[in-house]
Amino acid sequence: MLRTESDVVVSVVAALLGHPRADASIIEVELADGVVTLAGVVESEEVRRVLGEIARQQDGVRNVRNRLRVMPPLQHGLRRSETVRPSPRTPRFGLLT
């Protein structure tokens, strides 16, 4: 079954939200031609690596550009309540609004 870009983005965002430390990050997810770009800030290199692998494992993802930056929580001012979100440039087709 072919998946739309919107389906793939929803899958990636849902998978990232399943990671216990992803809620400490603000992450933008973009998809173009099967390539997911992750951008934003995470608290450690380990979280950056793991989130990239999680995105890579989703159906419809051919490659991942991991542009997540590592910055300890106190430096980037994130609160535990902030979470992963799709990029505002990602096609939404009413699914993520």
pLDDT of residue 71: 85
pLDDT of residue 10: 92
pLDDT of residue 87: 58
Task: List per-block mean pLDDT (blocks of 10 residues) for the chain, which spans 97 residues.
Answer: 83 90 73 94 91 95 96 61 54 34
pLDDT of residue 76: 53
Q: Which listed CATH number (1.10.10, 1.10.720, 3.30.70, 3.30.1340) goes with 5-86? A: 3.30.1340
Q: What is the pTM of this model?
A: 0.72
Pairing label, strands 35-42, 26-32: antiparallel
The whole-angstrom separation of Cα 68 and Cα 41 is 5
